[in-house]
Structure formats: structure tokens, C-alpha cells
Amino acid sequence: MTVRVNQQASTLPYQYADIEIENNAQRLPLVLCLDTSHSMLGAPIASLNEALRDWTRELHDDVSLSYSVEVAVLTFGDAGVSAWQGPNLLPYNSPVSPFVPAHLFQPPVLRAAGVTLMAEALELSMQIVAARKAELRQLGLQFYRPQICLVTDGLPTDTTGHPTDAWRRVVPVLTEEQRARRFRLYAIGVGGITDRGEEVLRAFAPTFNARLQGFPFRELLQMMSASANAEQRGAGDEVFEKIFSQFKTQRPAWES
């Protein structure tokens, strides 16, 4: 796993006793893959941080999710692509899993700066999901289909900040992984994302993509919780499509 070091890191990551092995609940890995590039500066990143805090409290209070969901946060911005274990930024090539049990999860405090290495962030998302599934198998634990939620307000760039078409390299892999039902990918465009940006998101996630006005991060995270609950119930594809349709119209209640 390749992770770029963010010099903001002030504390070393702490272990979670291999995600509390004494808890034998079936696990649901959930990756939040978040754009923290310069375009998110100001109100957008403040809104994202507030939504993460609120969602964390709701997750702790959700009996059905708090002991089965495992949360990992990846960001792409100032330090390239970074993996967090709860509030702690993991160092480069850390062997420590970024996944944290939902009932122990605390969100990082994110800042906005830098470029939009979206393709690299998705590649790392797939790597950590595959690694976590392998770990769970070794531990004799079952798991639900993982969820990856990509959130961005812009276009993929290279390391110099220039728009690039290099993101196309991940599309065949994403297509095959989703076809094989190895994870469910949500690709969400917020703020002033352009038509071109929406095209990229459709290529990444043909079924679960959205282009939304403003920065409805709270509703987005609530949708991810609703999707996780549906996954635990073994819901069919039509249920996930209904949940996502409700989210895109920003209806206040989640129905299944």
C-alpha cells in the first residue's frame, strides 16, 4: 500500500487489537475517499469536517452498524493521497490498517490544499479494501460487500495540478471489480463540478453517480449509513438504487 506522508501528522497511529477480534460480527468495510484539494478551501472543507463529526455521533448510536461497520478515510489533496486511521494520519507505506470499528471511529480534521489525484486515490481505495478482505478471511471472519464513496468537486489532475486523462487507466479495473461485486462504488460530484467532471464520475460508477448542487455532506454520509444497513439486510440491487435516488433528490428520509 503506497501512502504519501502528510507533514501535518502529529501523533502516531494506534492499533485497534486487529479490529477487536473478540467481536465476531460480520464486517462491512466502508471507505470514504474525499477530495481535500485547494478548491475545497473555506466553507466546503468546514462543512465536510462538521458533517464527519455529526455522522460519527450517529454511527456510534446506530446499534446495527456500530459493531459491524469498519471505517477508513482516504484523502487526496495537499500531500497527494493519504490514509487515515481515525484522526491519525498513517505514514508512508504503513503496515497498519486504516480501518477502524465504527463504535471507536473518530474523524480526522481535514484541511484543503493541493491537487486532485483522484485516480491514485481510487487505486489506493481498492488496495486497502482487498487487503482488509484478505485479513478478515485469515481471521475467519465474514464480511459484507465493501462500500467506497468517492466525493469530489473537480477534475482529476496530475501532480502539478494540470487536468489529465490518466484516470482512464482505472476505469477497466473499476468496471471489472464492480461487475464481480467486490465492492459497491459511489461517485459523488459536489459544488461547482463541471460537465466534464460528471462524465468522469459516470465512467467510474455507472450506476451510483451523482452531480449535486452545493455541499450536502451530511445527507451523503446518511445515505452511506442507509446503504450499509441495506447491505446487512441482504437487500437486492433495487433497494440500493432507491436509496441512491432518494439521496440525489435530497429527500430527508431513507426508505427501504
pLDDT mean across residues, the chain? 90
CB-CB neighbours of 194 under 10 Å: 13
* In the predicted structure, residue 213 carries a pLDDT above the cut 80: yes
- Give the pLDDT mean for 111-136: 97
Tally of residues, the chain: 256
Query: Phi, psi (5° rounding) for residue 210?
Result: -150, 150
Please enumerate in sequence order all residues whose Cβ is within 8 A of that of 22, keeping only pairs 6 or more positions apart, or say none. none
Tell me the per-residue pLDDT of 65-92, one tens digit each, with 9 for 90 and over.
999 999 999 999 987 999 999 999 999 7
Distances, alpha carbon 12 to alpha carbons 73, 89, 209, in Å: 16, 8, 35
Cα angle: 197, vertex 199, 205; to 5 degrees: 105
Q: Which residues of 103-117 are buried (b: 16+ CB within 10 A; e: fewer)?
A: bebebbebbbebbbb
Burial zone of 196 (CB within 10 Å; 0-12 exposed, 13-18 middle, 19+ buried) = exposed
Side chain identity at 196, as an amino acid letter? Answer: R
Task: Name residue 186's beta-bridge partners.
Answer: 149
4 pLDDT band, cuts 50/70/90, is very low
pLDDT band at 250 (very low <50, low <70, confident <90, very high): low
Relative to beta strand 88-89, strand 100-101 is unpaired
**Of 63, 34, 19, nearest to 121 (Cα)?**
34
Tell me how far apart the alpha carbons of residues 173 and 175 are, in angstroms, rounded to a whole number: 5
Summarize pLDDT for 41-74 with one digit per residue, the tens.
999 999 999 999 999 999 999 999 999 999 999 9
- pTM comes to 0.90
Q: Interhelix angle for 43-61 vs 217-232, to 10°?
A: 30
The pLDDT value recorded for residue 253 is 43
Which pLDDT does position 251 carry in this prediction? 52
Residue 38's CB is within 10 A of a number of other CB atoms, namely: 15
* Sequence letter at residue 157: T
* Contact (CB, 8 A) for 250 and 212: yes
Q: Answer yes or no: are the C-beta atoms of 123 and 170 closer than 8 Å.
A: yes
Q: Which residues contact 86 (CB under 8 A, 6 or more apart)?
A: 100, 104, 105, 106, 107, 108
- The residue among 92 and 36 whose pLDDT is bigger is 36
pLDDT value at residue 24: 80
pLDDT bucket at 214, cuts 50 / 70 / 90: very high
